[in-house]
Amino acid sequence: MRVRILLFVLVWLSCAWFGSWALNPNNSTRMFAAIALVERGDAKIDEFSKLTIDKAEFDGHVYLDKAPGMTLLALPAMAAAEHVTVRPPIPPTVWDRDFEHWMTVRLRLAVASVSALLTALAAVALFDLALGLTGSAGAACFGAITYALGTPIWGWSTTLFGHAPVADLFVIAVWALWRGGQERAVRFAVIAGAALGLAALIELQSVLAGSVIALWGAFRLRRPAPVAAAALAGAVTLLVPLIAYNMIAFGTPFRLGYEGVHDFPGMQQGLFGLTSPKLAVLAEIVVGMRRGLLWVAPVLILAPFGLWQLAKRQRSLAVMLAAAALVVLLVNAAYVYWDGGSSTGPRHAIPVIGLLAIGLASYWSSLVFWWERALAAAILGVSVAINLAIAAADIVASDEYKFPLWDPILKVDWPTGTLRTLPSDFFGYSPIAGVVFYLCIALPIAALLWWSVRSSRQGA
């Protein structure tokens, strides 16, 4: 239990400590809709329409142009913020210090209570799953830390984008279905179904990879009651909030925000921008200099070996993880706007990370020689350092850069201190001091986590 608590605290702190720009359109449009729901009980964002390019238009009014999951999850944070801040005048452009600060308070509260929380829970779920698969706390910790801090999951968990939460919910669903095959099947089936339903409410395309997970779960449980419970929980979690939001926003349950997007003509191609996968795009997603996943998470180069080792123990689980991961990548490669615009790494491929990270614990447990583990730990250390740099600087680097990890993040943002930390945003610290402050807290927690893992291994 101590290991799980320390892991949760380390991951939650790391995600909540750093921040993204509150007025990034993907952040702001979700918050504008949540603010409107809290303040007026409707979903129109007309008054904010000039402050975001991400919007939908219906019948002369402006709305959120995305699935409403993150907006609905952020409602408690928006309501709480109403009691601690006073709204400044809405500016004619996004470049207004008082309004940006007002929005930053809301983003920080939403991240702490939604994105960072889900990522911390997913890290603990992955640890528990990997511990059951390998019997090794060290291997389980390697997989969990890789997932949460060694990949862009960290950076995306500082935002209200849906990518990291969907990845988190996939991990939680796999964990729950695994546990459901061993004990209390109905309870864990409900958790899994709700996680997959919520993932679809956040990003509608997640239903494709989520279906692969669900089919594996149905095969694993093999009993009518838990399978039905999972299906019902998923349907309720997806449909009830979606219909409620649509009724409030549009007066009909049969409308999606994507239908009202006008400024992105690619969304009119295929199914809301989804066409057919392109092999060249897939290569760019994995290894391309501008968006390649392996550049921002080099530890994932070990993932195929991890799935191979996992297949020796649990073939059906490994096959499911590989199939679901492939679906995520193919969907990204089929999207007209596959590169995600402003992004550090391939943001639409982020849900693949949890599926791949589950196998990394098996990879670690298969290592025999000390130098093999030292090499794997070093690769993880480099990945964590890279993602600390990204999370503190800019997870949404402009699409004009050819290799954003270097320029602007390491070449410009860090030397100039263009970073976002909790102390520098609110307490007057310099950004670099904010990072040092984080390290002074996080490193002792990490050391205590390492000591606890070693103690549990020696106790066994």
Per residue in 103-124, pLDDT (tens digit) is 999 999 999 999 999 999 999 9
Tokens found for residue 167: 């990845």
How would residue 459 be classed by pLDDT, with cut points 50, 70 and 90?
very low
Any idea what DSSP says for residue 410?
I
Any idea what DSSP says for residue 399?
T
Q: CA angle, 357 as apex, 121 and 331 as ends, to 5°? A: 100
Upper half-sphere CA count for residue 315 (Cβ side, 13 Å): 1
Distance of CA 340 to the CA centre of its chain: 15
Per residue in 313-365, pLDDT (tens digit) is 899 999 999 999 999 999 999 988 888 889 999 999 999 999 999 999 999 99
Asked if 274 and 335 count as a contact pair (C-beta separation under 8 A), the reply is: yes
Closest by CA position to 425, among listed 166, 107, 153, 197: 107
Answer with the residue of higher pLDDT: 13 or 224.
13
Residue partners of 447: CB distance under 8 A and separation at least 6: none
Asked if 243 and 309 count as a contact pair (C-beta separation under 8 A), the reply is: no
How would residue 256 be classed by pLDDT, with cut points 50, 70 and 90?
confident
* pTM of the model as a whole: 0.96
Q: CA angle, 393 as apex, 390 and 395 as ends, to 5°? A: 55
Asked if 353 and 378 count as a contact pair (C-beta separation under 8 A), the reply is: no
How would residue 457 be classed by pLDDT, with cut points 50, 70 and 90?
low
What is the spatial distance between Cα 53 and Cα 424, in angstroms, rounded to a whole number?
A: 28
CA distances 380 to 301, 347, 377, 455, Å, are 10, 20, 5, 22
Among 84-88, 150-154, 284-288, 385-389, the minimum mean pLDDT is found in: 84-88
Per residue in 181-233, pLDDT (tens digit) is 888 899 999 999 999 999 999 999 999 999 999 999 999 998 899 999 999 99
404 φ, ψ (degrees, to nearest 5): -60, -25
Tokens found for residue 132: 């059951």
Determine the average pLDDT of the residues in 57-77. Answer: 94
